[in-house]
Amino acid sequence: MSSAYKLPETKIATDVQQSPQLHHAAASVVMRATGLMKSYRKGKVEIPVLNGVDFEVREGEFQAIVGTSGSGKSTLLHLLATLDQPDDGQIFFEGNRIDNLPAKSRDILRNRYIGIVFQFYHLLPELSALENVLMPLMIRYGFTKYMLRRRKNRQRAKELLDKMGLSHRLKHRPRELSGGEMQRVAIARALIADPQLLLADEPTGNLDRQAGDELMEIFRDLNREQGLTVVMVTHDETIAEQADRTIHLVEGRVQTM
């Protein structure tokens, strides 16, 4: 399974390295997309959502994608997360094209290299917080393999939840947690596989001010202290201000400011 997607030895594509307008010229590009097009069909009418979006995020960068509702920012994130495929354009992850990979390879990519956090948390209601965090590892390993490293995995999940300040909530079901707590469980779940890239789709969208601030604190810590690359979609300019770099999406295009 792991052979289906292999990280390349040399991660940096030369043309990206020479690009002049980037802040961290020395850092390698984690993900890059060019000319992304995507439209949805509603009956007979075709609604264009993305009209040629170029995108790039470098290692250790905290990038915000800001746009109004309907600007296509969530669609862009889904494309980047390989949950959906673009009609046109290309997406590269660490130099390898990923948008045209077979489903199996994209599954592995999401499972191991890209962590995703959603606005509505998307935890599995039948599982406890700890089990939700462990889910990516359960998906990765078969029954016997998982059982062999069960203790190690649980230790790791507990550490992550502890970091999120949820060590007292391990056995709780999602419906017994507050919104902020659920989102922190979701972050722990995204981190358990040690991803190269964390994608967040309006993570604070459903939270009050205080919980939102706490959550942003966590994202910043992850970015600064652990050097995790974060791409966050939001409509909130104040949140976007906390990012290293912000791109604006207007009507399916990147607006240069």
Residues interacting with other proteins, by CB under 8 A?
A: 78, 81, 83-84, 103-104, 107-112, 116, 118, 122-127, 131, 135-136, 138-143, 145-147, 189
Residue 75 or 246: which CB sits closer to other proteins? 75
**Least gap, CB of 118 to other proteins (angstroms):** 7
Angle between helices 150-163 and 129-140 (to 10 degrees): 130
End-to-end CA distance of the chain: 43
Residue 6 or 145: which CB sits closer to other proteins? 145
Residue 119 or 246: which CB sits closer to other proteins? 119
Residue 62 or 113: which CB sits closer to other proteins? 113
Question: How crowded is residue 48: how many other Cβ atoms within 10 Å of its Cβ?
Answer: 14
Which tokens in the block code for residue 215? 């959550």
Rounded Cα distance between 55 and 23, Å, is 14
Contacts 24+ apart (CB under 8 A), 156-159: 156/192, 157/130, 157/133, 157/188, 157/192, 158/130
Residue 145 or 171: which CB sits closer to other proteins? 145
**Least gap, CB of 19 to other proteins (angstroms):** 30
Q: Is residue 91 classed as helix, strand or coil in its secondary structure?
A: strand
CB 28 within 8 A of CB 96: no
Computed over its alpha carbons, how large is the radius of gyration of the chain?
18
**Least gap, CB of 163 to other proteins (angstroms):** 20
**Least gap, CB of 20 to other proteins (angstroms):** 35
**Least gap, CB of 110 to other proteins (angstroms):** 4
Nearest to 113 by CA among 56, 34, 192, 57: 192
Which tokens in the block code for residue 143? 């029954």
Nearest to 158 by CA among 192, 124, 190, 117: 192
Residue 186 or 249: which CB sits closer to other proteins? 186
**Least gap, CB of 131 to other proteins (angstroms):** 7
CA angle 37, 41, 42 (to 5 degrees): 145
Q: What is the DSSP letter of 84?
A: S
Residue 20 or 125: which CB sits closer to other proteins? 125
**Least gap, CB of 100 to other proteins (angstroms):** 17
